[in-house]
Chains A and B, each alone.
Chain A
Amino acid sequence: MLLTFLLVVAIAIIRMKDLFAVVMLAGIYGLLSASFFVVMDAVDVAFTEAAVGAGISTLLMLVVIAMTGHAEKTTRHKPLLALLVVTITGGLLIYGTLDMPYFGSADAPIHNHVAPRYINDSIQEIGVPNIVTSVLASYRAFDTFGEVVVIFTAGIGVLALLSITRRPEDDDNIGSFNDSLNEQHLVVRIVSKMLIPFILLFALYVQFHGDYGSGGGFQAGVIFASAIILYAMLFGLNIARKVINQPFFQFISAIGVLLYGSVGLASMLSGGNFFDYNVLSNDHITGQHLGILLIELGVGCTVASVMIIIFFNFAGQRGMQQDNEKEHHKNKELS
């Protein structure tokens, strides 16, 4: 049922010309897939998708279309050829699925390889009830380390692409991100002002409760960032910049990766393998708990600060464009 909704939304995305509507539909699409993940028992994934797909990505897209314009030109490149390619590929893929084990069958090959060990032994080996956390942070910690580095690198990339043209003195006269929102929506402002502390608190809960329920560094980071982004949107970028200075967040994002990596190094120096937390403490369960806590903290720091940096740079870029336009108009009037 949810899948059918997803299909309808996706088709609507093809048909729509107004990019604003498309972005909103993409947000709905994210929320729908999050609900689907809940039905499929993937609560941690649903958590992440709801925060990312319906929250942050919609926001970023909105900021970008504010800069690039709403309307899509109707020109298409050889739609028939594209349709042909897509149909053939899709047909082949569907032919491929005919050999797949049926949905939900417990004896599918995927459930027989490493999953039984995770499910049966992780409570003795790691001592954490949430299996997703123990696989993410302990069994596959090296993999997750790589992913954190990718996120960090993306943050650096956005910084390199967008802040190149900015001089430090520009920062002071960037217009607030959305002036109209400041004056008109008093109710929204007051309600969100009350909500923001709770969102931050919730992020911390998700961060440190990831061992027992669904949650962890990735989700917590995104939720934390969204609280700060909400603040920046409602009170203007200028005021937000006074509270949060960007070099500090750049520093924190690097510290997160460093913390993660040094846990691995610490376990090596104590005589174990890279990311083998058993050696961090006398009791291996305590060692595992300590290791997971630290690396989740590292993940949370990096994800939150990279998301904040990304948003601030996009919004700052937009503020600069507006300022340039204003100056342009002034110059025209003068001449």
Chain B
Amino acid sequence: MLMGLFNYWIVVVLMMIGLYIVIAHGNLIKKIIGLTIFQTSVFIFYISMAKVDGGTAPILADDTIQYSNPLPHVLILTAIVVGIATTAMALSLVVRIKEAYGSIEEEEIQQQDNQIQEDKQEGKQA
């Protein structure tokens, strides 16, 4: 009966893949995609919990008695659309960063920032 938890384990693995991409990759777009994977894994988690064996989609019909739980569906449905809106927001930030720094690699941005700070300090000393 270990297969009963299989869905949740896959969710955990997917979530960790997302987290790994967010931590280990320097490219900002890749990071956003990592966040999307993380997000989708949470969706899968909720929807898996809502499933009832032998149930059908929660649209009332005369000849069915068992339905899957509608509440997680509602929560996730709105979360998906909110998710794309916030992703768009993040992407627009990336576009602005690209315009300002000419790069979307985290390390290059950091380098440029450090450079600016050093220049400022040297200016003060001089």
Contacts and interface: CB of A to CB of B under 8 A. Distances in A.
Q: B43, B48, B67, B91 — which one has the most chain A CB atoms within 10 A of its CB?
A: B91
B27 A73 contact: yes
What size tier do the contact residues of chain A reach?
Answer: 35 or more
B28 to A, nearest CB: 8
Interface of A: prevailing SS: helix
B105 A19 contact: no
Contacts of B4: 102-105
Given A42-B57, A218-B81, A75 B107 contact: yes
Interface string B61-84: 100001111111110111111111
B77 A44 contact: yes
A239 interface: no
Contacts, number: 283
Contacts of B72: 42, 110
A23 interface: yes
B104 A13 contact: no
Given A40-B68, A161-B93, A214-B59, A56 B74 contact: no
B60 interface: yes
A108 B29 CA distance: 39
B44 A26 contact: no
Contact of A41 (B29, B51, B85, B93): B51
Contact of B5 (A57, A102, A303): A102
Q: A43, A97, A119 — which one has the most chain B CB atoms within 10 A of its CB?
A: A119
B116 interface: no
Contact of A67 (B8, B53, B95): B95
B44 to A, nearest CB: 6
Interface stretch (A150-158, A170-178, A229-237, A242-250): A150-158
B58 A132 contact: yes
B89 A154 contact: yes
B104 to A, nearest CB: 5
Interface in A270-314: 303, 306-307, 310, 313-314
Contact of A13 (B21, B69, B95): B21
A93 B59 contact: no
Nearest to A52: B84
A45 B43 contact: yes
Contacts of A214: 57, 59
A106 interface: yes
A22 interface: yes
Contacts of B94: 64, 68
Given A13-B33, A67-B98, A77-B26, A103 B51 contact: yes
Interface of B: 1, 4-10, 12-21, 23-27, 29-30, 32-33, 36-37, 40, 43-44, 47-61, 66-74, 76-89, 91-96, 98, 104-107
Given A14-B17, A14-B20, A110-B49, 4 more contacts: A7-B14, A19-B30, A68-B94, A161-B95
